Amino acid sequence: MTKKAKIKARPERSRSVNKTDAAERVRKIWPILKKAYPNAGTALRHANPLELLIATILSAQCTDARVNMVTKDVFKKYKSAEHWAKADVKHIESDIRSTGFYHNKAVSIKGASKAIAERYGGKVPDTMEELVALPGVGRKTANVVLGNAFGKPAIACDTHVIRLSRRLALSENSDAVKLEFDLAEIVPKKSWTLFSHVLILHGRNVCNARKPKCENCRISKHCPAANNPALW
């Protein structure tokens, strides 16, 4: 494969994206990426929607590997929304401390669990509107739960998805919510959840933030940033 120029980290800048071109680019890169990552899926270990919701809250500013280490024990200790809701915040903080930002995360987990126990009989709701109404739950977390726990099409925009979407000129937005709606217009709905997972894996393995491996990238010929770094 022809060696491509590597992208250097640079400040965010305003850029214009043609949606027709972006949709065509998705059409070209999607089969390639899907084939490259046949087992793409969430790395967060969970046995039910509640565990995934809590694991996703814990994953903020924390690696999935660390979250999985922590949840291996805490999911044995707290087995229901009621258990989390009744737990002392200080105890939750102690149990999740190594994931970072443990106070805010503990408050969010306890608050969301209390709402789930009181409003939904202990079962995690399966709609965006209900999920984002839970304390500490935003659209990204809601999309992770909808897509992976309930099998509903959902686009979760983390830092990898944001970075790759901009480099590939799929959207001009770095705001996760705005990007979500942009991608929803150009990615087939049935592929929303998998598309997020594939971009995340490609971002971790190839299209790194500081030193993207454009020379080893299967979609570099379709990437505006790889072909003309000065533009991106």
pLDDT, tens digit, 9 for 90 and up, residues 89-118: 999 999 999 999 999 999 999 999 999 999
Dist. CA 147–CA 191, nearest whole Å: 10
- CATH code for the part of the protein at 19-41+154-231: 1.10.1670.10
Q: Which of 64, 140, 211, 213 is catalytic?
A: 140
Q: What is the CATH number of domain 49-149?
A: 1.10.340.30
Q: What percent of the chain has pLDDT over 70?
A: 92
Q: Is 140 a catalytic residue?
A: yes
CB neighbours of 221 closer than 8 A, spacing ≥ 6?
Answer: 227
For residue 136, the Cα-to-chain-centroid distance in whole angstroms is 16
Which part of the chain is CATH 1.10.1670.10? 19-41+154-231
Q: Which DSSP letter does residue 44 get?
A: S
Structure tokens of 42?
């969430």
The predicted model scores a pTM of 0.90
Domain(s) of CATH 1.10.340.30: residues in the chain? 49-149
As a whole number of angstroms, the longest Cα–Cα distance in the chain is: 59
Q: What does the pLDDT look like over 163-211, one tens digit per residue?
A: 999 999 999 999 999 999 999 999 999 999 999 999 999 999 999 999 8
Residues whose CB is less than 8 angstroms from the CB of residue 132 and which lie 6 or more positions away in sequence, other chains included:
138, 139, 142
With beta carbons less than 8 A apart as the criterion, state whether 39 and 45 touch: no
- Under DSSP, is residue 53 helix (H, G, I), strand (E, B) or coil? helix
Distance of CA 160 to the CA centre of its chain: 8
Catalytic residue among 6, 123, 158, 221: 158
Q: Is 116 helix (H, G, I), strand (E, B) or coil?
A: helix
